Structure 1
């Protein structure tokens, strides 16, 4: 997922070279967004959201800042008030890595990008993001197949 987030951030930075988002924060968020699954290993292969709060708490307990820990808690709650463009990018990367396209989530990201780039038309941002996400999503089957060949076997479930 980290590679997808890096590709997404790099391409969007080319489209909008202004300070619309913090690339390093996005990459940190991508790397740590599911860290709470170490506390809730059943969520490695099954559904659940307990890992989100646990991940935030785990990062805070190990000296990370609230700004860094937020990604673990917000990557599945993109419609909450105050979600930043950095958090939206992590959420989009998390979804498109699996080949999922979530219109409401993508619309929120487009809104942020347009606000950060005066003079950019919404349709331009939409076309750019849509083409990029479609291309990234095409590789989802390969990524998921690779993951399936290397399953995680938690020591305790």
Structure 2
């Protein structure tokens, strides 16, 4: 029963349609018997990260970022909730270091595993553009807008493009508004998958 529920979370089309997770991530979630709700959540955030990365690359081509790292980070950011399933339906941050350790133990490079640890730490010194994009995707998938987080991304975009901060803000705000418009449908998709298989 658990395997069937997880398989549905990984493959159901969704409304709006959600892209599949990268093969490596889907295989790891199956190996670790991830809760179906976690797989559905990771798919939703990964899909939003694809939309965000594509829109940022289109509107701000001067911004250097690692698209594949961002997508992997979005696809695995909450993987530590396999060890802390109570955080699927309640608050908590124990999943962050647990996710980093879990990915590292399964051969994922630190440069990619870090997203599991750092996705909620955008104020930290040394956080890069890739990290900010994963953090924004993790908020906007459900329609949540976080002013200080988005402000950090606006600063990076303004620096990279040489454009006025207000102009960059308007473009980013438009991108995020369009992505957030489907938040209720993504939340409904996630809710159709059980916390436990």
List aligned pairs for 1:6-85, cutoff 5 A: 6-85=50-129
- Once the two structures are TM-superposed, the CA of residue 100 in structure 1 deviates from its matched residue by 0.4
Deviation at 1:62, TM superposition (A): 1.3
Residues 128, 19 of structure 1: alpha-carbon distance in 2 compared, 3 angstrom cutoff: closer
Paired residue for 2:165? 122
Rounded to whole Å, the distance in 2 between the matches of 1:5 and 1:149 is: 21
* TM-score, length-scaled by structure 1: 0.93
Structure 1 stretches of 5 or more lacking a match? none
Contact 2:63–2:157 (8 Å) recurs in 1: no
User: Is 1:153–2:196 an aligned residue pair?
Assistant: yes
TM-score, length of structure 2 as denominator length: 0.75
**1:141 paired residue number:** 184
Report the Cα offset of residue 18 of structure 1. Answer: 2.6
1:133 Cα deviation from its structure 2 partner: 0.7
CA contact (8 A) 2:80 2:98 kept: yes
Q: How far is the alpha carbon of 1:19 from its aligned partner?
A: 4.6
SS of 1:55's partner is: helix
Shift of 1:120: 1.6
Aligned residues: 153
Gaps in structure 2 of 5+ consecutive residues: 1-44
Q: 1:19 to 1:101 in 2, by over 3 A?
A: closer
**Higher relative contact order (CA closer than 8 Å, sequence separation 6+):** 2
Deviations 1:29-76 (A, max 9, x none): 001101101111111121111000000011111111111111001111
